[in-house]
Amino acid sequence: MFDVVLQGLQQVFVPLNFVLLFAGVFLGITFGALPGLTATMGLALLVPFTFTMSPESGLIMLAGIYVGAMYGDAIPAILINTPGTPSAIATTFDGFPLAQKGMAQHALVTAALASTIGSLLANVVLVVAGPPLAAASLKFGPPEYFWLGIFGLTIISALSSGSVIKGFLAGCIGMVLSAVGMASIGGDVRLTFGYPILQGGIDLIVALIGFFCLPEILTSVIGKRRKTYTEKAVEPKLAVIGEVAMKIVKKPLLLLRSAVIGTIVGFAPGAGGNIASMVSYNEARRWSKDPDKYGKGTIDGVAASESANSAMAPGSLIPLLTLGIPGSPAAAVILGALMVHRLKPGADLFTGPEASIIYSFLMGLLVAAFLVSFIGSFGSVIFSRIINIPSRYLAPGIIFMTVLGAYAIRNSMLDVWIMFVFGIIGFVSRKLNFHPAPIVLGLILGPFIEEGLVKSVLAGQFQGVFNYMVFRPISGVLIALCVLSLCWPLIASWRLKKKKGEVA
Number of domains in the chain: 1
Contacts of 54 (CB under 8 A, 6+ apart): none
Closest CA relative to residue 216, chosen from 95, 112, 53, 336 = 95
Integer Cα distance of 300 and 110 in angstroms: 9
Residues near 423 by Cβ (< 8 Å), separated by ≥ 6?
Answer: 209, 210, 211, 213, 214, 215, 218
Instruction: Specify the range with the lowest mean pLDDT, choosing from 109-123, 154-168, 358-372, 388-402.
Output: 154-168
Q: What pLDDT does residue 489 have? A: 67
Residue 113 — pLDDT band, cuts 50, 70, 90? very high
Does residue 46 lie within any of the structural domains?
A: yes
254-297 pLDDT, tens digit each? 999 998 888 888 776 656 657 788 888 888 888 888 877 888 88
Residue 234 lies in a domain: no
Residue 129 has pLDDT above 90, yes or no: no
Q: How far apart are CA 79 and CA 391, in angstroms?
A: 13
pLDDT digits (tens, 9 = 90+) for 159-173: 655 567 777 888 888
pLDDT at 18: 92
Contacts of 77 (CB under 8 A, 6+ apart): 83, 84, 88, 89, 91, 92, 95, 96
Torsion region of 411: left, alpha or beta (phi above 0 gives left; psi -120 to 50 gives alpha): left
Of 89-103, 138-152, 212-226, 481-495, where does the model show the most confidence?
89-103
412 occurs within a structural domain: yes
Q: Which of 119-123, 324-328, 376-380, 391-395 has the lowest mean pLDDT?
A: 324-328
Say what percent of the chain tops pLDDT 90: 5
Work out the pLDDT band at 110, boundaries 50, 70, 90.
very high
Residues in contact with 108: Cβ distance below 8 Å, sequence separation at least 6, in sequence order: 74, 75, 78, 376, 379, 380, 383, 384
Residue 318 to residue 122: CA distance in whole angstroms: 10
Return the ∠ at Cα 153 (arms to 263 and 180), rounded to 5°.
105
Q: Is the pLDDT of residue 223 over 60?
A: no
- Domain assignment present for 145: yes
- The region, left, alpha or beta by phi > 0 then psi within -120 to 50, assigned to residue 232 is beta
- Average pLDDT of every residue of the chain: 81
Q: Identify the pLDDT of residue 49.
A: 81
pLDDT at 161: 55
Question: Measured at the alpha carbon of residue 140, what is the angle toward residues 135 and 146, in degrees to the nearest 5?
Answer: 170
46, burial (CB in 10 Å: exposed 0-12, middle 13-18, buried 19+) = buried
Each residue of 417-468: pLDDT tens digit?
988 989 888 888 877 777 777 888 888 888 888 888 888 888 887 778 888 8
Residue type, 448: F
Residue 144 belongs to a domain: yes
Q: In this structure, is the dihedral angle defined by the CA atoms of residues 268, 288, 307 and 101, taken in order, positive or negative? A: positive
Domain, as residue range, for 461 = 2-229+239-503
User: Comparing 61 with 137, which gets the higher pLDDT?
Assistant: 61
Q: How far apart are CA 413 and CA 303, in angstroms?
A: 36
The pLDDT of residue 433 is 75
7-20 residue pLDDT tens? 888 888 889 999 99
Helix (H) or strand (E) holding 263: helix 252-266
